[in-house]
Every structure is written in C-alpha cells, then in structure tokens.
Structure 1
Amino acid sequence: MRTAHPVETVRAAEAELMALLPDGALMRRAAAGLAAACCSLLGKGRVYGSRVVLLVGSGDNGGDALYAGARLARRGAGVTAVLLGGRAHGAGLAALRAAGGRVTEDPYEALAAADLVLDGITGIGGRGGLRPEAVPVARAARGSDAVVVAVDLPSGVDADTGEVDGEALRADATVTFGAYKPGLLVDPAREYAGALRLVDIGLGPYLPAIPGLEALQHQDVARLLPEPGAESDKYRRGVVGVYAGSDRYRGAAVLAVAGALRGGAGAVRYLGRVGDMVVRAHPEVLVHTGPWDAAGRVQAWVAGPGIGEGSDPETAMGHVLAADVPVLVDADGLRHVTPGAVRERSAPTLLTPHAGEAAALLGTDRAAVEAGRLAAVRALAARYGATVLLKGSTTLVCGPGGTGPVRVNPTGTPWLATAGSGDVLSGLAGSLLAAGLDPVDAASCAAYLHGLAARRAAGAGGPITASGVADALPAAWRDIREP
C-alpha cells in the first residue's frame, strides 16, 4: 500500500532523524537520491555533457537541488543555477561551485539549451502559487525541450491538500523524499507532479503507523476481494438489491445491475420501473414489481442511479434507508437523503457523488469541490456520518466522520468520463458490500477494479463505453487475483 503523510508529520520525522545525524547529512542523502533519479531520466551515458539548470529557491528544496547539481557536475554535466529566492543554501551553493557548476543572472539563455531542469523553487511548506518574479522563469522552463524534475513536489502546489491556488510549475517527474505527500496523489496537484519516485532517506521508523492518505495496490485489493468456497451458495456470496432506472433513464438500471453481477454478487434483485428491460439484458436477475416488503432478503442495497425525481423515488428511498443492511446511494438518490436520515440508520451508508452532486450536498459550488477534493470528501463524511466515495479525476474514499486515512484510487483513466460509468461503479461497490466488505474497503476495491476495467476496455487508448467497462470487470478481477 502506498501511503502519504501531512507536511507537519514529515517535518517532525525529519527533525527526529536529523538529531541523530551529522549536520547536513539528511539533505545530502536526499540529494544523492535526487541526482540518481536525474541520471536515470537523462538516460544511460547521457549525463556527461548534458546541460542541467537548477531553479533554486531560498529553502531546503533549493539546497537539495544544489547538492544534486554538484553530483551531476562531478559526473560531467554542465550545471547552471538560477537563484530565485534572494538567497541560497550556503553549503549547497559552495558544493555546486566546487564541482564546477556556475550561477547565472540570465535564466532564459540557460533554459533554452537545457536537457534537464530541476525545480527547487519552493518546498513542502509553500502556500499559494508561485511568486510573481518566478512565474516567467517557470513558464520558460516548461516551454523548453528539457525534462522538468520537481524536487519533493512541484513548486506552487499545496503539499497537504493538492490545491493549486495560482500558477505552478508542471513537472514531467517528481522525486519526493522520505514519504509521499497528499498533494502528490490528489488532483489538481497530481496532474502537475508527473511520474512519481520516492527516495528512502530513513524516515520510516519515525513516521506514524496511520497515514493521512492511502492508495491500495494489487496485493491489497487481492487480499480484500471475496472468493467463493466449496460451501458457498448464491445467498452466502451475497444478494444485492438494486433500485435504479426510470422511463427517462432506462439504461441506468441495466448498467447498475451489470456492475453488480460482474462484481461477484451471488444474486441480484431488481426493483424499479424498467424490469422488462433489465431482465432482457440480464435474464439471471430476480425482478420484483410488487411491494417493497415482498422483494425478498438482500445483504445490501444500491439505490439512486437514474431514478429521476418525483414522489415515487422519495417514497422508495425511504424504504431503502429504513433497511437494516448497508445501503449505497448514488446519483438521483442523493437528492432524497438528509444528514439526519443517514445518521439515524443502524447499518452503514455509502454515498457516491461526483463533484457536482457533492457541491449540492455541501451547499457550495462545483469549482470549490474540484479545487479542494480532500477537504470536500472529509466534510461530506463528517456531515452525513457516512462513508463517501467522491468520484472524479482522483476518486477519494473517506470513512464516517471524516477522520482517519483517506483512500485515493490510483487506477482511473480519463476515458472513464463517459455516460453510465458511475452506474456500473455503484453496482460493483454494492455487490462488494453484499459480500461483507466494510464500506471503505468495498468502495476502494470497487474504484480500483473499475479503473482497471476501464484501462482494459480502452486498450492502447481510445473511447470506451460504460457497457465495455462492465464487460471488462471479470478480466480486471483476474488481473488482481493472478500473480
């Protein structure tokens, strides 16, 4: 599992470790890893004679860049430093000059010829965008043909929240030290980070066991996914109820049921207005047209995709929320839930809004949610006392109360921005709830599988459909299960 820690936690760990090391040893350790990563990015045999430009701020990130530049200079690179902070790390600057590096007053000539640019302008404590005097230099770096490598994190992004408040320098790769920072894993900052590389500088023993952010990986999902045994039957595997679809949004029901069936549910019971269409697409589904109390037993409900508006959905959602089983509420169903109704439930609730729906639930605007995704998912989980899966360019999962680690999904693809993909995700997550996974694990595993399936459906890259994502779920499941 990949984990990320807040800035305050990382700094505390660094202070503990530095107290045990000679002065400057930790910075030189980080710089050694940074220089090695730069050599890798330049390519074998290309360090000698390459042209490297260091954008150096006044903080420790500037010092890291200077020490790494000194190492590259000793390997034959032509290294030029641009001092943007008014002052620079004294020992690092001395090391660069001793290795043959130089300082220039004209950054633009050096950037125009650069093969690699090291962004050491601001560090993990930076707030807001780049200072005005750094903006034209950052633009010139990004407009050059050089590989841009961020030192610890791209300058101008918020390390704790992933927010980008102003102009930031977009990197091709980010080399971060000791621990991932939340902003490296969460949009919009994630889009500025490029490829990530973590340099181990020995912080592990000094970091807390509980991180601020988690990202599941294959082995984590494989451990959580349910697998039928010899004694399993359809009821032991989990029965999921799906309330979805309307005369206007008929396909939402078909897609939600498809996600549930391909998510390992032993059986799917469907209630809604388009049962004929659902059973034609999926003859294995148990379709109920009668009253709610005759629908039969389920281990979880998925409610909301495409149900539309009006009194019927409001009444039906009341029945769903009254059930003593886990309930996933998505799409139109989110209009019929209140914090009080969710908090009064005896069983868990999982809400799965996109940014616009989250904004409506929080009483804010979509832009605010998209700019501060971590804050939004925590606020929703706290307000409703529910697990929240916030869909989007970075899918986030937060447990009830808004405390504890937030899960970030690493498998998504922009091709998932297609009609109906969220309905498939809802059915998939509902099937995992019915199988007995707790809401945080069910939501996290569903998002992971959903992203893998979308990548499979896209192949080498191209448009996909929600149906294609559902069809690719079994293969994604096998990818995780197989070594």
Structure 2
Amino acid sequence: MIRAHTVEQVRAAEAALMATLPEGALMQRAAYGLAHAVLDLLGGGYGRRVLLLVGSGDNGGDALYAGVVLARRGVQVEAWLLSDRVHEGGLAALREAGGRARRPDAPPTGGRFDVVVDGIVGIGGRPPLRADAAAALEALSGVPVVAVDTPSGVDVDTGELAGAHVTADVTVTFGTHKVAHLVDPAARASGAVHLVDIGLDLPAPALEALQPDDVARLLPRPTPDAHKYTRGVVGVRAGSTTYPGAALLSVAGAACGLAGMVRYVGDAAVADRVREAHPEVVGDGRVQAWVIGSGSADTAEAQLAATLDDGVPVVVDADALEHADMVAGRPAVLTPHAGELAGMLGVDRHEVEARPLHFARVAADAYRTTVLLKGRRTLVAEAGRAVRVTTTGTPWLATAGAGDVLGGLVGALLAAGLTPYDAASVGSWLHGAAATSASRGGPVVATEVARAVPGVVAALTS
C-alpha cells in the first residue's frame, strides 16, 4: 500500500524523530537519498553539471547538502540562491566541497546544466511560485528537474495548482508520500516519485493507493465447495433501444468471472442482444448487487427505483446519477466523471477538475455513501475513511464505454461480497491494469478491457 500523509502529520513525525537524533541528522539522511537519486538519473557523477535552486526552507538545506555529496562524486555543482535567507550550514558545506553559489541575476558560470534540483519551497509553502523563482525556471526550460519532497508551487495537502509551479521529471520525497504526489492535477507535476525512508513513525494516512499485493488480498476467490450462487449474483439494469451497447459493455464488465452469475433485466430486444453476446447471462431473479444506469436514458429513474426494495448494494452510473439522492445513506457506489459530479453538486466542471479530491470528499459526505470519481487518477471516497487513489491505467483508457465496463466490474465485486469501498477501489485498480495489459502501449477499446480482466486476476492470484 502506498500511503500519503498531510503536512501536519509529517511535521509531527519529523519533530518526534529529530528529538531522538543528533542535530542535523535527519536533513543529512534526506540529502544523501536525494543525491543518490540525482546520480541515478545522471547515470554517474564525474563531469556532470547540476544546478540547485535554493529557497529559504529546509528543502533548500536538503538541496545544498545533496550538492555536497554530488560535488564529492565529481559533479560540478552550482546553487542559485532565491532567498536572502538560506541554510547557512548547507551553503558553507557546499562551498567547502567546491560548489559555487550566486544570485540568479549574476552571470552563470558557463555551459548547460544536466539536471536542476528544485529546493525552492518546502512542504509548508503555498502556491503559486514567486515571480523570481518562476523566472529562474523559465530560464532553465528543457533541463530535467528533480524536485525535493514536492514540486515547488503545488498545494501539498490538496493536489491543487494555482499559477506558476515546478513540473518535475522526478520527485524525491522523504518518509512518506504526500497527497500532491498521488492526486491530480499536482500528481502530473510530480513526475516519477522516489521515496526515501528516513525512519518516520506515522499515523493513519490521509490517502492511500492499492498495490498488487493489496488487490490480491482483497480479491474474492471461490472456496473448494463454491457454486454459482455462493459466489454472488450481480444484476444489471443498463442500456436501452437507443443505447444497446451500454448494456453489452456493462454486462461484459460484470461477466468477468469474479461473480458466479450475471442477470440482465431490460428491454426485450436489448436482452436478446445481451444473451447473444453473453450466453451465460440469465434473466430476472434474486441478486446480491445491482448495476444501474449506463445508457438507460429516460428509464434510469424507474430502473433505480425498481432495485431499492431488494436492499442490496447498488452501483449507480451515468444516467442514474441524476437520481443518486434515492440511494443516499445506502450501501452504494456512485461512479461519476467530473462533468457528472459537477451536475450532482451544482458546480462547474472545471472546478471539479481543478479540485477533484475536495469534491470527491464533498460528494461522499453529501450522499453518505461511496463515491468513485473517475479520472486519470480515479478517487474513491467514503466518509471516515482514507481516500483511495487508483494509479493503474493508461491514457488510452479514455475511450467510449470504458466506464460501462468499470461499473459492471465493481458490481461483480459487490455481489461477491466486497464492501462498496473495497469493491470500488479494487474494481478501479483492475480496470486500469486490464487496460494497460490490453493496450500493450497502444490504443484499446472497452470490450478489450473487459476481456483482459481475467488475465490480470490470474496474474495476481498465481
């Protein structure tokens, strides 16, 4: 499990650890890890040129001491001092090791830099970057950037952006991931994140991301004496004569093999097409979970109402999200994208895209159920729980019908016995992993994602 903590949590843990260590020891640990990450990126040290952008906080101190390690490995190190107050001990040590330091308005020492180290602002900084820092970055456009802890200029606890900020190729963080590493839009600015363990004792996280071992542990598996009913039955009410493909794709996701049976209830003509494509699918009857809404058009409200008397968990998707208040407080998974969530909350889509973590939490509180906010980094929010973020997937997954497959997949996991929180998290992870597997680096369509799920599950459980 990747766990992310807030600035307050990290600072408290750092203070507790520093009380047990010699002065400066924690910064030296961070600097050593940072320096070796830079060396890995460079592929060696001798003769390379590294520029440190140094602000007034501890991140600037980390950068300066990392510069000392780099200089001792044969790297030509220069520091641009972006504040009148920088870490004095780190600056003196860098100069003693042969590094140079100057203000950014002084002439450079000559030659192009191989890497820029962003030590401008610490995790307590607020966006955006100051004008002088933004100008320094602009002058270095095209040079790979390694950010210290988090890219300067992002909001660390929300993952939000507000103006000028660093866009890193690599971020070297210490002790734990921060929210901005995992949540868009700031996650896009973090690049590849490298975690350096500095020995922090941390509380429960604010955010977490499932990894393959976590998904394997949560996956429902048939017992030796299992039969189709004990493995769970998922019902699908989706599609219409206008949008029959939505029914086929929702059923394809539900029929991935994680539940014992799939029932389809809908228009007779659509049901015939479903059974032709999926002969194992049967008709109406008792279920352990429902999937409602994809392609349902003006029948969505009636279809959702028809499921509620069953008292089983329900996945509410697409057209049915307009009626999500009907499942408020019930075991359910709401699966909006940014535009749908904006409509549900009465805000603008751009607001949701700029603040996805905030609005996922708002929706979970408002509807008192589980919310799966789809996006490049899908978020699963439930009141009182750490938000889960999905890090699997490929940009090729942004394709018509992929959300229908996801809804069916989550429904199958619900029917198999997972809680809404776990079903949404595991389903989203499998969906992204299946898309990556099916695409092989190229385009993918929704039906291929559904077909790839069993292979992903097999790899996890073998």
TM-score range (shorter-chain normalised) is over 0.9
Structure 1 SS opposite 2:80: strand
Of 330, 335, 344, the residue aligned with 2:317 is 330
> Where do residues 233-248 of structure 1 align in structure 2 (5 Å cutoff)?
233-248=227-242
Of 333, 339, 350, the residue aligned with 2:333 is 350
1:189 paired with 2:186, answer: yes
User: 1:6 is matched by which residue type in structure 2?
Assistant: T
Of 205, 212, 215, the residue aligned with 1:221 is 215
| C-alpha displacement of 1:116 | 1.1
Structure 2, gaps ≥5 residues long = none
1:386 paired with 2:381, answer: no
> Where do residues 73-88 of structure 1 align in structure 2 (5 Å cutoff)?
73-88=71-86
| C-alpha displacement of 1:109 | 4.1
Structure 2 SS opposite 1:443: helix
Distance 1:132 1:106, change over 3 A: closer
1:407 is aligned to 388
| C-alpha separation in 2, matches of 1:442 and 1:169 | 35
| C-alpha separation in 1, matches of 2:109 and 2:317 | 53
Deviation string 1:330-350 (CA, Å, 9 cap, x unpaired) is 111101221xx32354xx111
| C-alpha displacement of 1:322 | 3.1
Q: Give the percent of matched residue pairs that are identical in Structure 1 and Structure 2.
A: 58
> Where do residues 63-142 of structure 1 align in structure 2 (5 Å cutoff)?
63-106=61-104, 109=108, 113-141=112-140
Of 281, 285, 290, the residue aligned with 1:301 is 290
Of 462, 470, 481, the residue aligned with 2:442 is 462
Of 274, 277, 282, the residue aligned with 1:278 is 274
2:460 is aligned to 480
1:471 paired with 2:451, answer: yes
Deviation string 1:26-76 (CA, Å, 9 cap, x unpaired) is 111110111111111111xx3011101000011110010000001111111
| C-alpha displacement of 1:248 | 1.6
Conserved 8 A contact 2:239-2:294 = yes
| C-alpha separation in 1, matches of 2:242 and 2:23 | 68
Conserved 8 A contact 1:263-1:429 = no
1:433 paired with 2:433, answer: no
Distance 1:172 1:344, change over 3 A: closer
Structure 2 SS opposite 1:235: coil
Deviation string 1:57-111 (CA, Å, 9 cap, x unpaired) is 1111001000000111111111000011232111111111111111133468469
1:360 paired with 2:343, answer: yes
* Normalised TM-score (structure 2): 0.97
1:56 paired with 2:54, answer: yes
| C-alpha displacement of 1:384 | 0.3
Deviation string 1:347-398 (CA, Å, 9 cap, x unpaired) is x111111111111111111111111111111111000000111100110111
Structure 1 SS opposite 2:79: strand
| C-alpha displacement of 1:151 | 0.2
Structure 2 SS opposite 1:296: coil
Conserved 8 A contact 1:304-1:331 = yes
Higher deviation after alignment, 221-230 or 315-324:
315-324
| C-alpha displacement of 1:300 | 0.3
Distance 1:263 1:350, change over 3 A: farther
| C-alpha separation in 2, matches of 1:139 and 1:464 | 37
Off by >2 Å, runs of 4+ in structure 1: 104-112, 341-345
| C-alpha displacement of 1:147 | 2.5
User: 2:193 is matched by which residue type in structure 1?
Assistant: L
2:202 is aligned to 207
Structure 1, gaps ≥5 residues long = 288-294
| C-alpha separation in 1, matches of 2:104 and 2:18 | 36
Structure 1 SS opposite 2:128: coil
1:29 is aligned to 29
Structure 1 SS opposite 2:229: helix
Structure 2 SS opposite 1:350: strand
| C-alpha separation in 2, matches of 1:151 and 1:350 | 37
Deviation string 1:253-274 (CA, Å, 9 cap, x unpaired) is 0000000011412111111121
| C-alpha displacement of 1:139 | 2.1
1:5 is aligned to 5
Conserved 8 A contact 1:305-1:332 = yes
| C-alpha separation in 1, matches of 2:449 and 2:328 | 33
Structure 2 SS opposite 1:23: coil
* Normalised TM-score (structure 1): 0.93
| C-alpha separation in 2, matches of 1:304 and 1:193 | 36
Higher deviation after alignment, 103-112 or 416-425:
103-112
| C-alpha separation in 2, matches of 1:188 and 1:322 | 40
| C-alpha separation in 2, matches of 1:189 and 1:155 | 10
Conserved 8 A contact 2:117-2:146 = yes
| C-alpha displacement of 1:404 | 2.2
1:173 paired with 2:167, answer: no
User: 1:391 is matched by which residue type in structure 2?
Assistant: K
| C-alpha displacement of 1:213 | 0.7
Conserved 8 A contact 1:257-1:424 = yes
1:291 is aligned to none
1:266 paired with 2:260, answer: yes
Matched residues, number: 459
Deviation string 1:205-237 (CA, Å, 9 cap, x unpaired) is x211x2111111111111111111221111011
| C-alpha separation in 2, matches of 1:106 and 1:367 | 36
| C-alpha displacement of 1:297 | 0.5
| C-alpha separation in 1, matches of 2:328 and 2:451 | 36
| C-alpha separation in 2, matches of 1:110 and 1:18 | 37
| C-alpha separation in 1, matches of 2:356 and 2:7 | 18
Conserved 8 A contact 2:329-2:367 = no
| C-alpha separation in 1, matches of 2:362 and 2:109 | 46
Structure 1 SS opposite 2:425: helix
Distance 1:102 1:90, change over 3 A: same
